[in-house]
Structure 1
Amino acid sequence: MRELPKELVLPADMVPETFTGPPVEPRDAATVALVRDGAAGVEAFLLRRVAGMAFAGGMTVFPGGGVDQRDADTSVAWSGPSPSWWASRFACSVELATALVCAAVRETFEESGVLLAGPSASSVVADTTGFSAARAALVARELSLAQFLSAEGLVLRADLLRPWANWVTPEEEPRRYDTRFFVAVLPEGQRADGATTEASDAVWQRPVDALADWKAGRRALMPPTWVTLAELDDLGSVAAVLDEQRSESVTKVMPKLVRDGEVLRVVVS
């Protein structure tokens, strides 16, 4: 894993000054680094979370969010690596692996309008605008992913996702997530719109430019986002990202926070 830069610090008020424990149980979550090839190399789709949100307000992130209980519905039509394959990669139960992949697909659709599903096991929807009502119902939790896909005769394309990383929020934080990171390529014909109330803006950007914006103070990044952007920048193209061979199981990373005056330093051992 890339070493975190010394400049990567967090506001001191993110956690209580005195941590007495026990730590909050982390909630399972899924995040998807959506990528495409641009004119000058690989680009990633980034959202700036609305300032003042309870978790990571104002931070630039990839699409993602917490697992919904209904994401574990095994009735969903599925194409690609089986839930047991994903369970081995993320060192979790098959039930949780199912929920994580479904959450990754659902959250990506909710927050970017990109749908990793198609009318068959080998096809992908080319235009998602006709599903705008279903998208709103998913966001409102009036509809589950399995119900949506079944009603539209769509197959979830798990083969369009790649396992990438697993980060757990430090024990000192009051809101914690056990987040599995995925990578997916923007399907041909689709576009990412970022039409979500959780983001103040959305943009496709080369990782190197996003990192430069962070260094210049124009973006705020959490450690997992910084590391993922740095890794994508190293690879340089969608082909290289897809060819990247991750180990049989993704290593779980749980940083520690060290208070240093007005900031918190992130330490990964």
Structure 2
Amino acid sequence: MSEPLVASSHRDFPMPERLVPHAREWLEAAPAHPAPSTAKLSATVMLLRPGRGGPEVFVLRRASTMAFAPDMLAFPGGGVDLRDADPDVPWAGPSPQEWADRLRTTVDRTRELVIAGAREVFEECGVLLAGPDADSVVADLTAPEWDDERDALLAREQSFAELLIRRGLVLRTDLLALRAHWITPECEPKRYDTRFFVARLPEGQVADDRSSEAALVRWATPATLIAEHERGELTMLPPTRVMFEQLSRAADLTSALTANGAVWPVMPEPVEHSGALWMRSPVDEFGNGVPSVTEGSR
């Protein structure tokens, strides 16, 4: 596995083979690139827990049948659902406006992103970032009725708001911290505009493998996953690799759970050099997004 090439304002990551055909078509169409597809708003959550070798992160290998990033390593997450904007979701922690300031977007979109992240992590691995009040979290989700709740969410038979209200729970948004914002390259037909959150696995809860989207789930240290990627044993997209690098630099679990300061959007683009295709990502040496002139002048 080749190391990413690093410059002062970007990094070039080796392009996964599955992405080469679309990237090649896009480059050959220059300068008249076709209009890109709309990037769907989405959220993903990096769950962390303490481990013997340092903080461990929960990851899944996406099923080979998935339309986006099949067989690649990822975190629980997915696209925003229309009902994620429901203002009736019981909310604890920073206000929607405070979150909107962190996410650099509107309050309505903020509700969608934060709620989508919490909903997806419950749907995909059974972890619920909610509790009876603003100071507690549901500890035991092993009863079969919780599997039924997840199935009802997946089938769109209920919304996340309906689940929380009926159960007398509030969403603990203070358990989430914002780490990054990445957008799928314009050359890809299926695109996402994704916020990356981090959260500690609530005490007493267990992340499981019930998701049909995952072929395999596991806990591992970020350093272990980076090493396996370098040996060609794992495939992952640039944002996943960058998140592992950032987490691996954290001194302890508390540091790993701390939000990044200024989070700027990162959208890679395909480039060709050194006899290969690369995904050029506008990030600094720490993997943080680099603001454009327009963004930096706001």
TM score, norm. by length of structure 1: 0.93
Q: Aligned-residue CA RMSD in angstroms?
A: 1.9
Q: Hey, what does 2:16 align to over in structure 1?
A: 10
Residues 207 and 230 in structure 1, CA contact (< 8 A), matched pair in contact too: yes
Aligned pairs for 1:201-240 within 5 A = 201-240=216-255
**What is the rounded CA distance, in whole Å, between the counterparts of 1:220 and 1:80 in structure 2?**
36
Task: Give the secondary structure class of the aligned counterpart of 2:121.
Answer: helix
Kept in 1: contact 2:179–2:259 (CA 8 A): no
Contact 2:177 2:259 in 1 (8 A): no
Equivalent residue letter for 1:90: L
> 1:174: how far off?
0.6
| Aligned partner of 1:162 among 177, 187, 205 | 177
Q: CA deviation at 1:221?
A: 0.8
Find the counterpart in structure 2 of residue 197 from structure 1: 212
Q: Distance in 2 between matches of 1:68 and 1:245?
A: 25
Matched with 1:93 is 106
1:76 to 73, 89, 96: 89
Task: Kindly indicate whether residue 58 of structure 2 is the aligned counterpart of residue 52 of structure 1.
Answer: no
Describe the shift of the 1:120–1:175 C-alpha distance in structure 2 as closer, same or farther (beyond 3 A).
Answer: same
Contact 1:10/1:263 (<8 A) preserved: no
1:40-65 C-alpha deviation (Å, 9 max, x unpaired): 10100000000131100000001000
Query: Where in structure 2 are there 5+ consecutive unaligned residues?
Result: 283-298
What is the CA-CA distance between 1:8 and the residue it aligns to? 3.1
Q: Distance in 2 between matches of 1:155 and 1:60?
A: 31
2:157 maps to a residue whose letter is E
Q: 1:108 aligns with which of 116, 121, 134?
A: 121
CA contact (8 A) 2:23 2:270 kept: no
Q: What CA distance in whole angstroms lies between the structure 1 residues aligned with 2:259 and 2:166?
A: 36
1:36 matched to 2:42? The reply is no
- Any idea what the Cα deviations from partners look like across 1:170-210, whole Å, max 9, x if unmatched? 11111111100100000000011021000000000000001
Could you give the per-residue CA deviations for residues 94-129 of structure 1, whole angstroms, max 9, x where no partner exists?
A: 001011110000000011111000111111010112
Contact 2:130 2:138 in 1 (8 A): yes
Query: Structure 2 vs 1, CA of residues 116 and 263 (structure 1 numbering), >3 Å: closer, same or farther?
Result: farther
Q: Which residue of 2 aligns with 1:246?
A: 260
AA of the residue aligned to 1:163 = L
Gaps of 5+ in 1: none
1:246 partner letter: N
Which structure has the larger Rg? Answer: 2
How many residue pairs get matched? 266
Alignment partner of 1:192: what SS?
A: coil
Query: For residue 143 of structure 1, what is the aligned residue in structure 2?
Result: 158
Cα gap change, 1:142/1:205 in structure 2, threshold over 3 Å: closer, same or farther?
Answer: same
Deviation at 1:90, TM superposition (A): 1.2
1:260 shift after superposition: 5.9
3-state SS of 1:92 partner = coil
